[in-house]
Chains A and B, each alone.
Chain A
Amino acid sequence: MERVLLKNIERPDSHEIEVYMQNGGYKNMEKALQMRPEEILDEVKKSGLRGRGGAGFPTGMKWSFAIADPKKPKYLICNADEGEPGTFKDRYILQKNPHLLIEGMVISAYTLGAEYGYIYLRGEYPYVKKTLSQAIDQAYKRNYLGDNIMGRGVKFHLTIHQGAGAYICGEETALIESLEGEKGQPRSKPPFPVNVGAWGLPTIVNNVETLANIPYIVEIGGEAYSKIGTSESPGPKLYCVSGCVKRPGVYELPMGTTLREIIYEHAGGIRNDRKLKAVIPGGISTPVLTSEMIDCKMDFVSMPKAGSMLGSGAIIVMDETVCMVRVIYRAMKFFEHESCGKCVPCREGTEWLRKILERIENGMGRNEDIETLQDVADIMSGRTFCPLGDGAAGTVLAMLRHFREEFDAHIKEKGCPYS
């Protein structure tokens, strides 16, 4: 498959506007600005594009809700908070192909009738901010951003808003709170941001990768796009592979590629030719899978059938030497740290899960601990304000389901058998 999102990234100057334009860059924006917004919306709907941040909501539908709302102005926000551990795909677009994102945002803003846009960039990417700021300046100079884009009377201004180290701000309502200068705590939904978002106005929050798909949809048309990947999850997908593989990195492949193909063909297989033990397929908050389950397809429909989620497509590979208790303990430390404190099940639950996992890993586990873990996770499931706590509970339950014997061994042997 021809690469769309990572086109030309091996060139050291791929982030420069001249290089982007030499390879057809901003041509799709030019085409889009000659179309009517409804026509573009129609193509996006036909494409079947689903949000790449993790939830997989149909982008065209999200857009149409915001368009239908009569309130003005509307805001377009690019979610570049990419905080899900294991995820680094958006960094590649932002750093190596920033003009693709800008082009996608201008087309989207024109379709949505948004005149102001913000890129909410995670604080941990200060070096990306430099590249992205430069790209935005270049786009302004060429009149691809501004009050009268390409002389077609289209106005769109773009600002980078830097986050400051809070994972929860990847959740769209928390992101909006943070943009407004508040603590990044999620809002209750409904109303959804498409109706009541930033400053009470219709706001579309789309992931970097989602927006980067828009120019290509304009180029080849929604129908042709919908034939890439699987029928229910179309398009190219960026898969991030990390952990115990020979070639960690970002791989652009059709949606629905199997985990086996991604790990063994693209990422080169397991380091030191060890045995594969487990895979976290969609970032740390998605349930773990065992080595026997890697023939499943990585898309929005197949992964839930296998008991996990596509999430952000962040595949963390663990070989036979990795302790699963240690992995889930470290993950829970993360969830506890990132819990925003708004709702009790998450705030208390993540802390208790971490405490219990910590003592099991350190050889002080009690026989009843496993049942307590199960209980706490069950109580949290479905009862937290946002997906953070729910995800945390789900990861523990999956670990217990697939690797129970490792927990038992820690408790019985009063220590970590892997250390």
Chain B
Amino acid sequence: MFKESVLKEIEEIKNKYPDRKAALLPALYIAQREFGWLSNDALIGVSRALNLPEAMVRGTASFYSMFRYTPPGRNIIQICTNVSCMILGAERIVDFIRKRYEIDENGMSKDGRYSLVIMECIGACDMAPAMLVNEDLHGNLTEEKIVEILDKYK
């Protein structure tokens, strides 16, 4: 299920905590990195790697909004619409992205290139409106800037 190297990585993380269960969130992140999302196989893999009941793994995972249960687009746009971003026009930017990149009701662009996720505050209010694309932070967004930025993510 998981590659040998991944199992080793999880094993090393386990050693950083007095109890293996604490490695659950890190292991879920690793599973999501490996599979792109938390598929059934990924969740079962985590359960086996940590020797924790599957129900416990699913229970914990379901509480946190950053885990995904469907395959995402090739690039993930996480955009903030909380108050600081909202008052500087985040909602207009979201509408623009939805239209221009033909984002469907599941948050995926038609060509599978982007997933759009509406976020609560991403802690970048000093550069509102702001978004993460994959692991990169981009701020002071305008429609022109969005096009320029997203063009780079193939």
A interface with B by C-beta (< 8 Å): 82-88, 91, 116, 122-127, 130, 157, 159, 161-167, 178-185, 199, 240-244, 248-250, 280, 284, 314, 316, 318, 322, 326-327, 330-331, 334, 337-338, 340
Residue of B nearest to A73 (CB): B18
Q: Which residues of B contact A159 (CB under 8 A)?
A: 16-17
Selected from B29, B59, B84, B135, the residue in CB contact (under 8 A) with A243 is: B84
A/B pair count, beta carbons within 8 Å: 141
Q: How far is the CB of B53 from chain A (nearest CB, A)?
A: 12
Query: How many Å from the CB of B117 to the closest CB on chain A?
Result: 10
Q: Across the interface, which residues of B come within 8 angstroms of A316, CB to CB?
A: 83-84, 87, 125
Give Cα A178 to B24, complex, Å: 9
Residue of A124, A130, A166 with highest tally of chain B CB at under 10 A = A124
A116 to B19, CA, bound (A): 13
Chain B residues bordering chain A, tally (CB within 8 A): 43
* B63–A85 CB distance below 8 A: no
List residues 81-132 of chain B with CB under 8 A from any CB of chain A.
Answer: 81-84, 86-88, 119-128, 132
Partner of A165 from the list B23, B65, B88, B135 (CB cut-off 8 Å) is B65
Q: Which B residues are CB-close (under 8 A) to A86? A: 83-84, 121, 125
How distant is B32 from chain A, measured CB to nearest CB, in Å?
9
Cβ contact within 8 Å between B126 and A181: no
B7 sits at the interface (CB 8 A)? no
Bound complex: CA of A144 vs CA of B73, how far in Å?
Answer: 42
Given contacts A162-B25, A178-B25, A243-B88, whether A183 and B60 have CB atoms under 8 Å apart is yes
User: What are 28 A-B residue pairs whose CB atoms fall within 8 Å in the complex?
Assistant: A83-B121, A85-B120, A85-B125, A88-B126, A91-B123, A91-B124, A122-B123, A127-B135, A127-B136, A130-B135, A163-B25, A163-B64, A164-B65, A164-B67, A165-B65, A165-B66, A167-B120, A178-B25, A180-B21, A181-B24, A181-B60, A199-B19, A243-B88, A244-B87, A280-B83, A327-B83, A334-B82, A334-B120
Residues of B within 8 A of A178 (CB): 25
B29 and A162 form a contact (CB under 8 A): yes
A166 touches B126 (CB 8 A): no
